Amino acid sequence: MKELKVVTYAPDQTRELGKKLGSLIDGSFLITLSGELGAGKTTFTQGLARGLEITRNVTSPTFTLMKSYKGRLPLYHIDAYRLEDIDQDLGFEEYVDGDGVCVIEWSNFIEDVLPEERLSINLTIGDDDSRMLVFSACGDNYEEVLERLCTQ
């Protein structure tokens, strides 16, 4: 497993980091995001969408559970916050294993149904309102993309 830690000091920096990652992805990719409310999960995803050449405004899918966007690759943005303790099949497998990029916010609520191979990002808020993003890549494709992000 490969790890990378990055600190951002403004939402624009968090978006820019997401954009860089999005520009490196060239196929099916799963990203799980965890962190407290307001840590920057949706902000990061907005940047990721820019890197995928998505022009629509990306907003949190909190009340819809999932939003999809078309760009260079499709983006499936899932919010799992309301899915804790739900044990029915939600049909997310087609997005997780699909042809695009699947981002799952609050992934800790559905951890037991997620594949091990993925890029996990934990966001925390610092005392100075900075954001610490800890990237953990599991799987060759994810480790390769994270390595490329490290060198940019």
Region 117-145: mean pLDDT is 95
Residue of 126, 71, 120, 140 whose CA lies nearest to 100? 71
The per-residue DSSP string of 2-49 comes to EEEEEEESSHHHHHHHHHHHHHH--S-EEEEEE-STTSSHHHHHHHHH
CATH number for the segment(s) 2-150: 3.40.50.300
The per-residue DSSP string of 77-95 comes to EEE-GGGTT--S---THHH
Region 27-48: mean pLDDT is 93
pLDDT at 88: 46
Residue of 134, 100, 118 whose CA lies nearest to 7? 134
Q: Which two tokens stand for residue 10?
A: 């403004």
Residue of 121, 114, 100 whose CA lies nearest to 35? 121
pTM of the model: 0.88
Residue of 85, 110, 91, 99 whose CA lies nearest to 33? 110
pLDDT at 121: 97
Domain boundaries, the chain: 2-150
Phi/psi of residue 89, nearest 5 degrees: -75, 120
